Amino acid sequence: MTGNCIKGSRPLLSFDGVFDENPHYKVLKEILIQTFGTPNMHPKQKPFYDHVFAFNVADNRIWFRNYQIVYADEDKELGQTELIEIGPRFVLNPIKTFEGCMAGTILYSNEFYVSPNKARRDLKLKRALERANKVGKKRSKKEEQRNISLPADEVDGIFEGEDYEDGADLDGSFDDDYDE
């Protein structure tokens, strides 16, 4: 069954070629070997491999995948094996590598890493600037509207004080001398 690795079986560690090219990846490779590898002559280890841990580098991150080695069935060609991903899978984003344990000189520092706090702060500042720009535009628009002076209208006072034909003044009141 897929995902049914035997307890105590050793994982086969598979590394991308990038781990041999860059010095900081060489250090990370050694750390991963010591973390995920089975110690030599461990009393509970089994003498065979039935799963593979694959480490690949992409986007300046280390991508981990776990595969099971499935051997050929009767209906398949003899000696044919295949890898089936069984999980778990995760991505490592190395930030810094120190000479000692959590201290010492920095051997490697990831220049592409942005801390979550800095990302949140930048997003907050961006939103605050957008809000300030929006409020500023509103204020300037109100100021422009206040400063607008319309030219005097020629027909503004034409009907002031005159009666309408139906007897109502411009203000809506009726004259007493209107008779029908």
User: What are the residues whose beta carbons fall under 8 Å from the beta carbon of 169, sequence distance 6 or more?
Assistant: 161, 162, 163, 175
**For the CA atoms of 148, 152, 153, 154, what is the dihedral angle to 10 degrees?**
-160
Each residue's pLDDT, cut to its tens digit, for the chain (180 residues) gives 567 788 778 889 999 999 999 888 998 999 999 999 888 888 888 888 889 999 999 998 999 999 998 877 766 666 678 888 998 899 999 998 888 888 899 888 888 899 999 999 999 999 999 999 999 999 999 888 888 877 778 787 777 766 555 555 555 555 555 555
Overall pTM > 0.85? no
Instruction: Determine contact, residues 6/46, Cβ cutoff 8 Å.
Output: yes
Residues making up the chain, counted from first to last = 180
How is residue 26 written in tokens? 């060489």
Neighbouring-strand partners of residue 13 = 53
Instruction: Determine contact, residues 50/38, Cβ cutoff 8 Å.
Output: no
